[in-house]
Structure 1
Amino acid sequence: MTNKKSIIAIPMGDPAGIGPEITAKSLANDEIYTMCKPIVVGDAEVFKKAIQIVEKNLTVNVIQSPEEGKYKFGTVDLIDLDNINMDELRYGEVQEQCGKAAFDYIKTSADLAKNGSVKALATTPINKESLKTANVPYIGHTEMLEELTNTQDPLTMFEVRDMRIFFLTRHLSLKDAIAQMTKERVHDYLIRCDKALQRLGIENRKLAVAGLNPHSGEGGLFGREEVDEITPGIEAAQADGIDAVGPVPADSVFHQALNGKYDAVLSLYHDQGHIAAKMTDFHRTISITNGLPFLRTSVDHGTAFDIAGQNIASSVSMEECIKLAAQYAPKFTQETID
C-alpha cells in the first residue's frame, strides 16, 4: 500500500499569512499520511515557527529532493529554500520578501511536478499585494502556473462534497462575462470540461450548463442569451458526443448536482458557482486547476492577515485540499489536453 501513495508538494504560501500554520496543523493529522506522501516547499525557520505557534508535536526533516523524504507521521519533510529573514518577518503585513518567497515556493513545486518527482500540488494562500510589491508579474496561482507550464486558459473546477463546478468565465465584471457567453465558448468549454473529468478518472460523465437568466430565460421572455448562444453551444457539444444538458435554471441545477444527477455543472460566471459551492460547505470547497500537465488543488480562501501568527486559522480547507489531491493523483493522467 505504501508505495502506491502519491507524493504531494505543498508550497508553504505567503510566510506572513496563515499558510504555514494551516499546513502544520494539517500535517499533524495522521490521516494525511495514510493517503499520501506530503512534502512542504518553503522556509525551514518559518515553518518551525509555525509549528510552535500551532503547538503541534512535529519535527522538520530538511531534504533536497523527494527521494530523501521519510514520509512518516510526526516528521515533516521540507525542501528549504531559505529565503526569509526571520528578523524582518512581520505576520499580517504585506512584505516584498514574502511575495518573492511565495512565488519561489510555487515555482519550485511546479518544477518538481513537471519532472515527475511529485504527482500533484496542494497550494496554500498567497497575497496579491505582496506579489505586486515583489514585482512578481502574476495576480494568483492560476496565472503563475499557466505561465510556468505554457498552458493556455486553464480550467477552474470547484469540488465540495459530491458537487463539481466549472467556470465559463472567472474574474470579469458581469457585463463583460455575459459578452463571453458565446456558443463557440460554451461548445469549447464543454469539450474541455469533459476531458478534464476524464483525466480525473471519472467515467460516464454527465454535464449540466447553468442558465443565466431567471428560469433560463423562459424561451426568450427574460433574455435571449440562452436562446441565441448557450443552447446552440450545448447542442454543438452534444453533436461531438458530449453528454451535456441545459441550460438548467441556476436556482435548481446545483442542488441537483449535489444529489448526484450530474457529474459537474458549468457555471457561467464567477459568483454563480462560488455562491453555490460555499453555501454548501465554505471550508470544504476546494479548487482544482484543470488543463495543467499535473494535478493542482487549492484552498479557496486568502492569507487571512488579520489572524496570521495567532493559532486561530482553521486547517479544515487545507486538509481537504491535500486529501483531494491524494484521492485524484493516482487516477490522474499526465497527458496535456489538446
Structure 2
Amino acid sequence: MIDPTEAPVIAVSLGDPLGIGPEVVAAALVEAQVRDLAAWVIVGDERVVRHAAARVGLPIERTFTGRIASRPTSGVSLLHVAGAPDPLPAAHGPTAACGQASLDYIRVATELCLDGVADGMVTGPVSKEAVTLAGRSFTGHTEYLAELCGADESRMLLANDKMRVVHVTTHCSLVEAANVGAKRVVDTIVLGHEAMRRMGWERPRIAVCGMNPHAGENGLFGDQESRVIQPAVEAARARGIDSVGPQPADTLFLQAYRGRYDLVVAMYHDQGHVPMKLMDFENTVNISLGLPIVRTSVDHGTAYDIAGQGIADPTDMKAAMRFALRLIDVPAQAT
C-alpha cells in the first residue's frame, strides 16, 4: 500500500510529439483540480513539453535527465527523453523519428513504475503507423507494456461512468479472434473480475458476449458459443465469479447500460469499442490489465489533423489521470 501521507506519483508518457498528446497533457495538468491530485512526471522531449506548457501557462517545477533518484512530492516535473526531431516538421503526420520517440517515452515511464519511483502511468496517444515506420512491430500500448513488464497475459479494459468492457482480443483480424480458445476467454473474465474488485465492486456481475450474431442462434451461425464461450463461462462460475453468457451482443450492451451488469466481456475489438465510444467518447478510459503496474490511457488517437492548433479537448486525458489514481492503492483516492 502506498503511504497515504505521501502524494501518489504518476508518470505521463507524452505520446507522439507531432500528435495532440503534448497539448492535452498540458491542458489537463494546468487545471489545479487535476494537478493537485498527485505529483506528476511528464516523460518526453523537453522542447516539446515546454512549448505545450507555455501555451497554457503550466508551470514545470523541476526537470530531470537520466534517472530520477527519489520520488517527487508535488507539482509537475519533466523527465527529458531525447529523440524528437529538432526542429519538429511543420506538417503533422507519422514519422519514424516520432514513432521511436513515442516508444522511448513509454519505456521510460514504465521503468519509473517498475522501479517504484511512480505508482502508475498515464499514456498519451501514439501512432501505430509512425512506430511501424521506426521499424518496430507494434500492435498497441497494452501489448508493448506487457513485453516491457514480462507479463504473460494482458487485456484491454475500457471504462467510463456508465459501463465497462474488457476484450478477449483486440488488435488482430476477425478470423484470428474467432479462433481463440476457452482458456483465453476464462483468463479475460478472471482479469476483468479482479479489476472490478480493485475498483470497488465486491461481487461484480459479468456478462460475456457471443462471437456470432444472436450468439450463434443455437449453432445456426457458428459454434464458438457452444464450443468455446459457454465452457469458459462455466469455468469462471466454478471459480466463484458471477458470470453469464454467451449473450447476443446487440442487446447485452443495452442491458449493461441500464445497470443489469457491471462488466461486459467483448470477444473482439469493435464489438466492445463501438458502443463505448458511441456512449461517452470523451470520458472513456483505456486500462491495461494483467500488468504489474497501473496504466491508463486516453481512448483516442494522435489527431494529426488538429495537432498544434491548441483546440484538442483534454477531457479524456483528465479522465485517464483520475482513473489511474482510482486504481492505485491510495485510500484517499478510492472513490
* Same-fold status (TM-score > 0.5): yes
Q: 1 CA distance for matches of 2:137 and 2:182?
A: 32
How many percent of aligned residue pairs carry the same amino acid? 37
Q: Does 1:69 align with 2:72?
A: yes
Instruction: Assess, with a 3 A threshold, how the Cα gap between structure 1 residues 331 and 255 changes in structure 2: closer, same or farther.
Output: farther
Shift of 1:96: 3.0
TM-score normalised by the chain length of structure 1: 0.88
Shift of 1:255: 2.2
Q: Could you say which residue in structure 2 is the equivalent of 1:314?
A: 313
Shift of 1:290: 0.5
Deviations 1:188-217 (A, max 9, x none): 332232233334453212211012333323
Shift of 1:162: 3.0
Give 5+ residue unaligned stretches, structure 1.
333-338
Shift of 1:320: 0.8
Deviations 1:279-316 (A, max 9, x none): 11112111100011011001111111111111121111
TM-score normalised by the chain length of structure 2: 0.89
Pairs within 5 Å for 1:232-311: 232-311=231-310
SS of aligned partner of 1:242? coil
SS of aligned partner of 2:5? helix
SS of aligned partner of 1:32? helix
Q: 1 CA distance for matches of 2:24 and 2:217?
A: 46
Q: Could you say which residue in structure 1 is the equivalent of 2:126?
A: 126
Shift of 1:331: 5.6
Q: Does structure 1 retain, via aligned residues, the 8 Å contact 2:166–2:192? A: yes
Instruction: Assess, with a 3 A threshold, how the Cα gap between structure 1 residues 66 and 15 changes in structure 2: closer, same or farther.
Output: farther
Instruction: Assess, with a 3 A threshold, how the Cα gap between structure 1 residues 60 and 191 changes in structure 2: closer, same or farther.
Output: closer
Shift of 1:227: 2.5
SS of aligned partner of 2:52? helix
Q: Could you say which residue in structure 2 is the equivalent of 1:336?
A: none
Residue type at the aligned position of 1:58: L
Q: 2 CA distance for matches of 1:331 and 1:205?
A: 21
Q: Pick the aligned partner of 2:15 from 13, 27, 32.
A: 13
Residue type at the aligned position of 2:205: K
Shift of 1:88: 4.2
Deviations 1:8-30 (A, max 9, x none): 11011111111101101111111
Which runs of structure 1 show a deviation greater than 4 angstroms over 4 or more consecutive aligned residues? Answer: none
Q: Does structure 1 retain, via aligned residues, the 8 Å contact 2:284–2:316? A: yes
Residue type at the aligned position of 1:169: T
Q: 2 CA distance for matches of 1:243 and 1:70?
A: 41
Deviations 1:11-68 (A, max 9, x none): 111111111011011111111124322211112211121134xx31222233333746
Residue type at the aligned position of 1:191: V
Q: Does structure 2 retain, via aligned residues, the 8 Å contact 1:44–1:62? A: no
Name whichever of 226-235 and 154-163 sits farther off. Answer: 226-235
Q: Could you say which residue in structure 2 is the equivalent of 1:158?
A: 158
Instruction: Assess, with a 3 A threshold, how the Cα gap between structure 1 residues 206 and 51 changes in structure 2: closer, same or farther.
Output: same
Q: 1 CA distance for matches of 2:80 and 2:226?
A: 55
Shift of 1:169: 1.4
Q: 2 CA distance for matches of 1:283 and 1:188?
A: 29
Q: Could you say which residue in structure 2 is the equivalent of 1:218?
A: 217
Q: Could you say which residue in structure 1 is the equivalent of 2:30?
A: 28
Q: 2 CA distance for matches of 1:25 and 1:293?
A: 29
Shift of 1:113: 0.2
SS of aligned partner of 1:59? coil
Q: Could you say which residue in structure 1 is the equivalent of 2:188?
A: 189
Deviations 1:119-158 (A, max 9, x none): 1111001122222233334343222211111112311100
Instruction: Assess, with a 3 A threshold, how the Cα gap between structure 1 residues 174 and 212 changes in structure 2: closer, same or farther.
Output: same
Instruction: Assess, with a 3 A threshold, how the Cα gap between structure 1 residues 94 and 220 changes in structure 2: closer, same or farther.
Output: closer
